[in-house]
A and B are shown apart, each in its own frame.
Chain A
């Protein structure tokens, strides 16, 4: 292409790309108040719904009988790269068989050390823990970030096998 043609095609190309950009921002401008708009976060707390794959704090779901699926196998504790999970377990004698069995006492979770990497959830053989939807966890004392995930007095569900 010779220089003169290049000069004029450069002008045309430049005008075209500028108009394309203006078209896009013009669309944003005309639709800003109706369809697409930034979340009004502290005001929309009541209606705010996080998306499914959001990884918040680790939770252990309990059913209505206050039973969970954690067997205390420590797989999550081993999988955790930061040591933010600590399983306190004990051996109790099963009254039916008379054998000693490993059960969970406390599933201690240090949120202050957790990077929300999801490895504990992958490691769990019984799907006892999951990533929650909560994210408002600023506290004044670091101790408050250490939680016990299983409710007091909760048991392992009977159908959960090791």
Chain B
């Protein structure tokens, strides 16, 4: 038991996943506080491993399990791109996103073929289940399908070093409630995450 300040981010927000959560700040003592070995530490009281966090993202991420409902991921070193939106209303928006991102230097890498991929643009967010992406000729991974009525085409292609390119097209998506101005775009792949305003 520790009496250290927990290092929680401010309040309940959408951090991905089906329910709102309270994130941990990077310097929180709760991050990686539970060692991976012996495995009995990252378990419930019956000894069953806790392999995901509240959002459904992999646990542990990094050197150990985090304390609490939220597992801190590796944050992209960089994330930028361009976004085009079109459509008759905020309830039926087609989007075309092209972005590049670089994984954190301590990241253990991403594997879109086996990891959950979450993408949010403004108030629209989608979770693409693990195993949905297919390897494509020439390198990279692609997903094509319809989730919650939105037709999606998503590509993740490795670039040089730890950089990747993201291409995501889809519609009609519900952007109702999205504030004016630059939109917040968040990409989560397994335990790696990045956000940017485009």
- The answer to whether A binds B is no
